Structure 1
Amino acid sequence: MDTVNNANQGFSLPLKKGPFQNNGASPWYVTLGLGTPYQKLKFSFDTGSNFIWVTSNLCADDSCKHYGKGRFFINKSASFVNIPLRPSVSNPTPHIVGFGPWGSMEVNAGNDDFNLLSIEQDDKIEVNSDLYTAKNYSGQQFEELDWDGGIGLPALEELPEVQHNPYLTRYRSSPRCAESHAPSFHFFKTLVKEKKVAQDSPFVTFSTDSNTGEGEVRFGKLDDRYSDSKDYLFLPWDKYSTDSLAYLWTTKMYSFSANGTNLLSSDEHNTAFLCLDSGSSQFKGDVAAMFAAYQITTLQGGDVEIEVGQDSNGKPGKLVITPEIYNRKIEAGSLKGEVVSQFAPLEGLGPMALVGSVLMDHLYTVYEYSISGRVEDDSLMISPKGMWIFNQPTGVEIIQSKQDKPAPIFNKSK
C-alpha cells in the first residue's frame, strides 16, 4: 500500500451531484478507481449501510440497470481475488444482501484495491478491501440510482449476534457472519490502521451544495470555517432498539412534528430516534408518522420541527425544516418535473425519522468515532461517539439553538 505524505492531516474527496430522483437515495457520489489497472466508478460513501458493493460484469445485460450505468469488470483487474460464499447457520443465504424496501441484491464476493485521489495532493491513496460484486438486482428504485456502488461507513462495524430470521428487519445491511471465509468490511478502520487518518482525528464529514452540484467528504480532518461557530448541536450516538439495525448512526429524538402536529416523541417508556444517513435523500421511517408527515406537508405545508440534542442550557435543540427544504423538484426518473414532499413510510423503522441529503445539503455534518487500542499491536477498537451538525455559513438557518462556546472537536483536531 502506498505511503501518503502528511497522511495524519487526513484527506478530502470531491463529491458530485447526480440528478435528484424520487427513489430515496442520495444523488451524491465520489468517482473512485477500483482494481488494477483501476476502473473509474461512482460510489456513495454511505453511513446508512455496513458493507461495500459494486455493480459488476457478473450482471446479465438485462439486469442491474441503474442511472449511474457503470460496471466493474472483474476479469480486467489483475488484483481481484475471489472470496467464496458458503451457507452457514448464521447466514444460510450468503449470496443475498438486503436493501430494505428496494428488495435484495444477489452477489458474489471478492477483494481488490480502491484508488482514492484526494483534493490536497496528487499522491494516490490505495485502500484494500473486501467487497460484494453484484450479479443481479432489479426494480424502479435501483434504476434511479445515480451511483454504481456503495462504501459503508457504519456506526458499528460488528453487529450483535442475532438468530437468523428471514423476516428480520434489514435496511441496507450485511448480516453478521463469523466464519473465516466471509467477507469483512472495515473501511474507516483500515484508514486508521494504514495511518491515512490519525487516531486523534476520528472524523468523517460531509458538506454539500445542491445549487452548485459540488461537495466534499473529508476523512480525519475538519473544516476550519466552523471552528468559531456557535450554531451547532452534538447528537450523541444511541443504539437503535433493533439489533439488526444497530449499525445506523442514531440519536435520541425528543419530538418530531409537522405543521404543529406531533408525530413522534420520546417518553419514559419509549425512545424515538433520528438517523443521519449520507446514502439517503428523503425523510423515511415510522410508517404512521411519515405517512402523516407526507399528508400534512403536501396538503397544508408548514414547518417540520425536530427536537434533538441539547443547547448550552441543557434544553432540547431545535431544527426547523421549511417547505423550501422538504419540497424537492424531481430531476430524472419517475415523477420527473414534479415537486414532491420528501417524506416516505418505511416498514421496520419505527419509531424513527431517518434523513439524508434533503436535510444534510443545508448542514455541515461530522460523524465522530471513539478509537482505543494501538495500531502497532492490532488492538485497535472503533466505536461511535456521535454526530455534530452545524448551520452552513449561508443559506437557511435550520438549527435554531445557540451554544455558549464553539464545538470542542476543533480543539481535538489541532
Structure 2
Amino acid sequence: MKWLLLLSLVALSECIFKIPLKKMKSWRDNLRERGLLKDFLEKSPMNLTAKYFPQKSMNATLQESLVNYLDIEYHGTIGIGTPPQEFKVVFDTGSANFWVPSVLCYSPACHYHPRFDPQQSSSFKATQQTFSIAYGTGSMTGVLAYDTVKIGDIEDTNQIFGLSQTESNTFLAFTTFDGILGMAYPEISEAGATPVFDNLWNQRLISKNVFAFYLSSNEKNGSVLMFGGIDSSYYSGSISWIPLSSKGYWQITMTSITMNGTVVACDGGCQAIVDSGTSLIIGPYNEIDSIQAAIGAIQNANGEMEVNCSSISDLPPITFNINGEEFPVPTKGYIKQKSSSCTSGFSVTDLNLWILGDVFMRQYFTIFDRENDRVGLATPAK
C-alpha cells in the first residue's frame, strides 16, 4: 500500500505541472536527461527504502574485537547509557539475557568490577521487573531496565538489560569480564527480555540475521565477533551447514564421537549445543569418562584431568560426526599444555547434553544463522 500511495503521489505531481504548462518537462524527465534520476531516487526522502532503512545501516557488518584470556574466555567491550559506561562482556551463545554489575549490587563479587550507575545516564529507563539466572558455574539476580547500548559504531537504543543485585562469589568475583551478553534465542530468555542481537535486527542496524565467531588459539590476539555478515577472509574452503534440532539454545544433533574410527562417546546419536560462553567440551559423566580413559587423563590434586605430556604425540584427533560430516579436534586442540603440565579439554555435566565450547569453536569459523535456524562450520584461515 505504501508503494502504491507513493507512485500515485508521483504521478499526481507530474500531472499537476504538465497540464497548465505542457511544454515544461517534469522533474523526472529533467533528472533523467542529466543522468541524475537514479541517484535522486535512491537518496530522496520519497524513497521508502532510503527513509526507513538507511543504506549505511542495511549494509552494516559490525566486527567486534575479542580479547582471548588464557584460552579460557573471550570478551569484548561495550558501552551502556548516555554517556556510555564501559563493560567487558562475554558474548554467550549459551544464554539469552544481557546483564552487567550495578550500583544496586552489594555482593563482594560486584566490587571487583565496574558497576553501572543509572543516575549517570540520561537515557536510562527503569522497570520494577526482577529476574534471576543460574549458570553452570555461578548465578545472579537483578532488575531489568532499558538504555542505549553501544557496540562498536552501532547504537542499540531502548535495549532491555539486567542490573545485577546479587552475584555468586565463587565464580563471578574472579572473572576478567564484568557481565554476560546472551546470544541464544529469545525462547530461553529470562523474564521474556529481548536479546541484544534480536534488537539489532529489529531496528535494522545490521543487514543480515546472522553472526559469526573467529576464536584465536594459544592466547593470541585477533579473535572477532561479526554481526550482520560474514567476512570470508577468516575462513577457507566451503561452509558446512548444520540444521538446528531445537531452537532456544543453538542445539544440533551429533551422530557419534570417534577416535581412530572407533566410537568413544555419543554412540547412536546425541544432542549438543554450540556455546561460546563455555571454555571446554562438556558431556555426560559416563561419556566423558570414556574419553578421559582413552586419552589417559587422570584427576590431579587440583581436580583437573591431567594427561602425561610425553604421550600427546601418540594421541589421535577426536572427531565429532555431525550431519554426515566429520569435524576433528586435533590433540593440541583438546589438550592444553602449560610448561610441564598438560590438561584435558573435556569436562562433565549432569545434563544429558553435550556442550561444544571454546575448545571446539577454536577449530572452526562458526556461523550462527538466525534466518535459516542453522549453524555453519568452516576451516579457519591461517
- Same fold per TM (> 0.5)? yes
SS at match of 2:62: strand
How far is the alpha carbon of 1:203 from its aligned partner? Answer: 1.2
How far is the alpha carbon of 1:65 from its aligned partner? Answer: 6.1
**How far, CA to CA, are the matches of 2:237 and 2:316 in structure 1?**
28
**How far, CA to CA, are the matches of 2:289 and 2:117 in structure 1?**
41
SS at match of 2:237: coil
Where does structure 1 lack aligned partners over 5 or more consecutive residues? 86-93, 119-123, 160-173, 178-182, 240-245, 310-315, 331-335, 371-383, 395-414
- 1:46 paired with 2:48, answer no
How far is the alpha carbon of 1:204 from its aligned partner? Answer: 0.5
Structure 1 residues 227-257: Cα deviation after superposition (integer angstroms, max 9, x where no partner): 8723x32111111xxxxxx511111100023
How far is the alpha carbon of 1:360 from its aligned partner? Answer: 1.5
From 316, 323, 326, the counterpart of 1:318: 326
Other-structure match for 1:273: 271
How far is the alpha carbon of 1:226 from its aligned partner? Answer: 6.7
How far is the alpha carbon of 1:112 from its aligned partner? Answer: 1.2
Other-structure match for 2:280: 282
Contact 1:35-1:77 at 8 Å conserved across structures: yes
- 1:79 paired with 2:123, answer yes
**How far, CA to CA, are the matches of 1:281 and 1:366 in structure 2?**
18
**Match runs of 1:229-378 below 5 Å:** 229-230=237-238, 232-239=239-246, 246-258=247-259, 260-266=262-268, 271-297=269-295, 298=297, 301-309=315-323, 316-329=324-337, 338-348=341-351, 350=352, 352-370=353-371
Bigger helix share: 2
How far is the alpha carbon of 1:103 from its aligned partner? Answer: 3.8
**How far, CA to CA, are the matches of 1:106 and 1:217 in structure 2?**
27
**How far, CA to CA, are the matches of 1:184 and 1:17 in structure 2?**
27
From 11, 17, 36, the counterpart of 2:82: 36
Where does structure 2 lack aligned partners over 5 or more consecutive residues? 1-51, 298-306
- Distance verdict in 2 for CA 1:9–1:61, change over 3 Å: same
Other-structure match for 1:408: none
Other-structure match for 2:133: 97
Other-structure match for 1:185: 194
- 1:393 paired with 2:381, answer yes
**How far, CA to CA, are the matches of 2:359 and 2:277 in structure 1?**
11
Alignment RMSD? 2.7
- Distance verdict in 2 for CA 1:48–1:110, change over 3 Å: same
TM-score w.r.t. length of structure 1: 0.68
SS at match of 2:104: coil
Structure 1 residues 129-153: Cα deviation after superposition (integer angstroms, max 9, x where no partner): 1111112122433234231112211
Bigger strand share: 2
User: Quick one: which amino acid aligns to residue 282 of structure 2?
Assistant: K
TM-score w.r.t. length of structure 2: 0.74
- Distance verdict in 2 for CA 1:61–1:369, change over 3 Å: closer
Q: Which structure carries more relative contact order (alpha carbon 8 Å, separation 6+)? A: 1
- Distance verdict in 2 for CA 1:192–1:145, change over 3 Å: same
| Alignment coverage as a number of residue pairs | 313
Structure 1 residues 180-199: Cα deviation after superposition (integer angstroms, max 9, x where no partner): xxx6223222222221123x
How far is the alpha carbon of 1:337 from its aligned partner? Answer: 8.5
Higher Rg:
2
How far is the alpha carbon of 1:18 from its aligned partner? Answer: 4.2
Other-structure match for 1:135: 165
**How far, CA to CA, are the matches of 1:136 and 1:337 in structure 2?**
39
From 147, 155, 159, the counterpart of 1:125: 155
**How far, CA to CA, are the matches of 1:391 and 1:285 in structure 2?**
24
- Distance verdict in 2 for CA 1:157–1:126, change over 3 Å: closer
Identity of aligned residues (%): 19
**How far, CA to CA, are the matches of 1:18 and 1:215 in structure 2?**
7
Other-structure match for 2:73: 27
- Distance verdict in 2 for CA 1:19–1:338, change over 3 Å: farther
| Stretches (4+) displaced over 4 A | 2-5
**Match runs of 1:220-235 below 5 Å:** 220-225=228-233, 229-230=237-238, 232-235=239-242
**How far, CA to CA, are the matches of 2:73 and 2:131 in structure 1?**
27
